[in-house]
């Protein structure tokens, strides 16, 4: 049992760390990028734009806390907004060290704060993350539609277009897809009593029920508006960061704020970076930079993209560390000031306020 737990811990925490370190090492070695290049970037960039991007990202955390509160109230979990904001800050800070553990921590923190079952709070968090996954899929479809021409040209330039078309036209791909669909239908429509099949069926049903509850809850339109606000912040914080660099002035219309093509370019980079956040890595470190570099390469931008990606992610990571430290301090004081639920309030000291 001890060996199994050790293997599980290595896979859960060691693998993401290895991915982050490996991809970062490859980024520096394959592009001959040096730390001095990043230092030079910090010196030459207009860091006010980077600071604005960091400021905007803070709002995304507030909006996420507000959106989660709507879901929590639906299951009769009521906690102060400050606690919800702290839970979001803490989640991202913890994920920098232990990927995905932050979500578990925030559920435990809110469950303890509200004196409600952990499973109920966890279910709302899963629905929250499923909503994010659905949002990324919608954004991906939109990006493919808006940038189809640029993506096709990029594949042609790297001699990958014919291979890509060949894969899509391969009968084996569609046979495999048909088998996959058939397996899904059998899994959920069949009458199998196999424990493994039953477990998968129950898990998926639970996830779907939690996600579908969003459509029935009070405040669903406000929830939807907050979802737009969250992802709007994510896009805007990346978009404004481009203006810290020479890309804006040296790339013509590609990153011209007033030009629709510039918005589309930034949007494609944003969607690619959002998909990369799904890779198990510490805070997206490694996959995120590579996604940004690849997406910018679609539009013929290669010089300095690695430095840009590292500076943007580095400053955002620094912000998460600062917010995590703030959260740790805030929760420490919160425990001292807030009496446990159900306990009678402590009588105030007569000497206080008697002046």
Least-confidence region, from 25-29, 174-178, 250-254: 250-254
pLDDT class of 352 with cuts at 50, 70, 90: very low
Nearest to 136 by CA among 42, 276, 309, 275: 275
| Percentage of the chain exceeding pLDDT 70 | 77
Q: Higher pLDDT residue, 321 or 203? A: 321
Return the pLDDT at 344: 44
Return the pLDDT at 265: 87
Nearest to 69 by CA among 55, 80, 56, 58: 80
Least-confidence region, from 82-96, 172-186, 268-282: 172-186
pLDDT for residue 350 is more than 50: no
Return the pLDDT at 190: 66
Q: Report how far apart, in Å, the C-alpha atoms of 44 and of each of 11, 50, 301, 308, 311 are.
A: 40, 12, 19, 11, 12
pLDDT for residue 17 is more than 80: no
Nearest to 42 by CA among 248, 288, 315: 315
pLDDT class of 206 with cuts at 50, 70, 90: low
Name the DSSP class of 243: G
Q: What's the count of helices (H) and strands (E) in the chain, helices before strands?
A: 16, 0
Task: Using only the alpha carbons of the chain, give its radius of gyration.
Answer: 24
pLDDT for residue 73 is more than 70: yes
Return the pLDDT at 203: 67
Return the pLDDT at 86: 94
- What is the reported pTM? 0.81
CB-CB contact of 89 with 327 (8 Å): yes
Q: Higher pLDDT residue, 211 or 172? A: 172
Using left for φ > 0, alpha for ψ between -120 and 50, and beta otherwise, residue 342 falls in: left
Q: Cα 303 from chain centroid?
A: 27
pLDDT for residue 238 is more than 90: yes
pLDDT for residue 351 is more than 50: no
Return the pLDDT at 341: 46
| Percentage of the chain exceeding pLDDT 90 | 36
pLDDT class of 2 with cuts at 50, 70, 90: low
pLDDT for residue 20 is more than 60: yes
Nearest to 6 by CA among 282, 14, 20: 14
**Cα-Cα end-to-end distance for the chain:** 64
Sign of CA dihedral 262, 264, 269, 274: positive
pLDDT for residue 244 is more than 50: yes
Tell me the backbone φ, ψ of residue 352, rounded to 5 degrees: -85, 125
pLDDT class of 106 with cuts at 50, 70, 90: very high
Least-confidence region, from 12-21, 44-53, 207-216, 330-339: 207-216
Q: Higher pLDDT residue, 259 or 329? A: 329
* CA angle, 134 then 137 then 140, to 5°: 155
Note the residue count of the chain: 355
Return the pLDDT at 80: 92
Matching residue, tokens 């199998």 = 192
Highest mean predicted confidence (pLDDT) among 8-17, 121-130, 282-291 = 282-291
């Amino acid at each position: 049992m001890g060996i199994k737990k050790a293997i599980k811990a290595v896979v859960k925490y060691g693998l993401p760390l290895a991915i982050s370190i490996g991809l970062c090492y490859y980024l520096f070695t394959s592009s001959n990028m040096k730390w001095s290049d990043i230092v030079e970037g910090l010196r030459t960039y207009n860091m006010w734009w980077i600071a604005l991007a960091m400021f905007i990202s803070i709002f995304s955390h507030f909006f996420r806390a507000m959106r989660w509160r709507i879901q929590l109230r639906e299951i009769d979990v009521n906690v102060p907004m400050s606690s919800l904001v702290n839970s979001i800050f803490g989640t991202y800070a913890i994920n920098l060290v232990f990927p995905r553990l932050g979500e578990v921590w925030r559920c435990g923190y809110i469950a303890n704060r509200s004196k409600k079952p952990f499973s109920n709070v966890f279910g709302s968090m899963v629905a929250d993350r499923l909503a994010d996954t659905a949002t990324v899929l919608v954004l991906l479809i939109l990006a493919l539609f808006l940038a189809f021409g640029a993506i096709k040209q990029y594949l042609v330039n790297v001699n990958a277009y014919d291979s890509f078309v060949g894969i899509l036209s391969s009968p084996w791909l569609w046979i495999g897809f048909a088998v996959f669909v058939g397996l899904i239908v059998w899994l959920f429509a069949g009458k199998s009593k196999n424990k493994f099949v039953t477990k998968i069926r129950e898990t998926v049903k639970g996830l779907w029920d939690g996600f579908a509850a969003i459509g029935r809850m009070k405040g669903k339109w406000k929830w939807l508006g907050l979802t737009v606000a969250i992802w709007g912040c994510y896009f805007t914080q990346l978009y404004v960061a481009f203006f810290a660099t020479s890309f804006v002035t040296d790339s013509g219309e590609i990153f011209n704020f007033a030009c629709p093509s510039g918005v589309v370019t930034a949007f494609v980079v944003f969607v690619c970076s959002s998909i990369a956040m799904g890779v198990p890595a510490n805070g997206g470190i490694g996959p995120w930079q590579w996604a940004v570099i690849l997406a910018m390469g679609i539009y013929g931008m290669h010089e300095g993209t690695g430095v840009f990606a590292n500076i943007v992610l580095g400053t955002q990571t620094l912000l998460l560390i600062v917010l995590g430290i703030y959260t740790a301090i805030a929760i420490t004081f919160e425990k001292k000031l807030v009496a446990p639920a159900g306990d009678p309030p402590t009588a105030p000291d007569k000497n206080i306020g008697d002046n």
